[in-house]
Structure 1
Amino acid sequence: MSTTTSAARRGHAPLAARVDALDWDTVTADLDAYGSALTGPLLDPAECAATAALFDEPERFRTTVEMARHRFGSGRYRYFTHDLPPLVRELREAFYPRLLPVAREWAGRLGRDAPWPDTLERWLTECHAAGQDKSAQILLRYGAGDWNALHRDVFGEKVFPLQVVVGLDAPGEDFTGGEFLMTEQRARAQSRGFATVLPRGHALVFTTRDRPVPSKRGWSNAPMRHGVSTVRSGSRHTLGLVFHDAS
């Protein structure tokens, strides 16, 4: 069976089944090696276009952020209300149990607590009880000249260590530039960077704040940040899935 045919069939499967069918051994290995991992095809072009079009339905969002105003970069992003579109809700629910073993393993390597329960619903209840009760699911739009400064999506004490971004436009066709960027701070050394072209319909799993790296004494913590390089032409949309809520 051709790769195209396999992707097409996967695109018509329920979202949870598509997430389960991803190559999780490779995703986990890439997360361990780089702090980020492409998943392969997840959404079809029609789903991507429909999700990107939600940006023009302001009633779906609790707030809009003009990035230049806050010196975050340039472009706009919008946080969904808790009344999430079905695709966004289903993807978030499907990814959480797949990312949970990685989160717990990383916490163990670093000698940290692993406070995340088995279900996303229970974890979000804990977030809300701690005052983090605002939706952090995000839809981003970049035009020519826009970019996103290196940052971390940490909104309070409750933090899930992994998150997901889904590309909704085709690089090289809908836009140029706009690579997903990550930097890793290394002990007693200069930082190193990673640049990833995010294909339309593919997801990138990446660390929210830091990751464990091998050291002479076992494991040490490598802080990481993420951002987006300057979009040179066209329009770039992405969907961000965060597994803790905001304060």
Structure 2
Amino acid sequence: MNAIERTLGRLDGNALAARLGSEGYAVLPRLLDADEARELARAAIAANASRRVLLEAVELGRGEMFDFGAALPAPLAAWRRAFYRALAPVANRWNEALGAAYRYPAELDAFAEQQRAAGQTRAQSYASRLRAGDFLALHQRSEGEPVFPLQVVALLSEPGNDFAGGEFVMTEQRPRMQSRPMVVPLGLGDAAIIGTAQRPFEGANGVYRVNLKHAISRVREGERVGIELAFHEGR
């Protein structure tokens, strides 16, 4: 069992589901130590330099995105399997609450096989590198069917030391209400489980869908590196 699996194995599933249900995110502090986080930042960018995309070219802000493609760098492939296994029960609770018939398989490989059969083969996980003046615009990874309703982000640089600004931000749009902004507090080596695009919310008149988007605010100085892991593929 690797360190990520041990960490996830210690999580209280009910408490995690409650945190995700109330806010749409849950922070996992110090998933990596400082050296591990910085090494992963270097490796993720170096291994995927040929897949570098300018965010402005795809209308996602300003900065650089390094698409991982089908082969995730270590240890991210192990992360993806372990996180999926831990989050599939929460995803199924959300579908049940929203009246959706689909149920996610217990293991990532089985889910991936279903997606391939449906023609969903474009990987959506990536690293981002933002320097002074750069930002990641509000977006959601909602392409494909079914969309896995949760994903993982991690910060591989240190706020206040490596960079200033660059806060991870989410917005939540409830029916007939103004969008609610949220700043997700991340430090070096922290990860957060976030809602991908929609989640159930229990209001006074029952359960309804709320729409979620996420972004990274403008970096004022320095360099910020982060990763985003998605569990479903795009068409």
Measured against the shorter chain, the TM-score band is over 0.9
Deviation at 1:187, TM superposition (A): 1.6
1:179 paired with 2:190, answer: no
Q: 1:33 aligns with which of 4, 22, 25?
A: 22
For 1:181 and 1:30, how far apart are their aligned partners in 2? Answer: 17
Q: What's the secondary structure of 1:57's corresponding residue?
A: helix
* TM-score with structure 2 setting the length: 0.93
Aligned residue for 1:141? 129
Cα distance in 2, alignment partners of residues 209 and 69 from structure 1: 23
Partners in 1 of 2:94 and 2:55 — Cα distance?
32
Tell me how far 1:55 sits from its aligned partner.
Answer: 4.2
> Which amino acid in 2 is paired with 1:192?
R
1:201 CA displacement: 0.9
Cα contact 1:22–1:39 (8 A) shared by 2: no
C-alpha deviations, 1:53-111, integer Å up to 9, x for none?
124425x4673221112321111111113222220011111101111111111111111
SS for the counterpart of 2:51 is strand
1:53 paired residue number: 42
Question: What CA deviation, in whole Å up to 9, does each residue of 1:118-139 have, x standing for no partner?
Answer: 1100101111111111222211
Does the residue aligned with 2:137 lie in a helix, a strand or coil?
A: strand
Within the alignment, does 1:104 sit opposite 2:116 as a pair? Answer: no
Aligned residues: 235
- Select 1:159's aligned residue among 138, 141, 147: 147
For 1:16, the equivalent position in structure 2 comes to 5
Aligned-pair RMSD on alpha carbons? 1.8
Contact 1:171 1:197 in 2 (8 A): no
Query: What is the aligned counterpart of 2:81 among 93, 99, 103?
Result: 93
CA 1:118–1:236: 2 relative to 1, 3 Å:
same
TM-score by length of structure 1 reads 0.89
**In 2, distance between residues paired with 1:104 and 1:206?**
15
Structure 1 distance, partners of 2:142, 2:132, is 27
Task: Classify 1:83/1:189 alpha carbon distance in 2 versus 1 (closer, same or farther; 3 Å).
Answer: closer
Q: Which amino acid aligns with 1:180?
A: F
Name the amino acid aligned to 1:69.
A
Percent identity at matched positions? 36
Q: Deviations over 1:163-188 (max 9, x none)?
A: 00011011111111111111111222
From the superposition, tell whether residues 188 and 155 of structure 1 become closer, same or farther in structure 2 (CA, over 3 Å). closer
Identify unmatched segments of 5+ residues in structure 2.
none
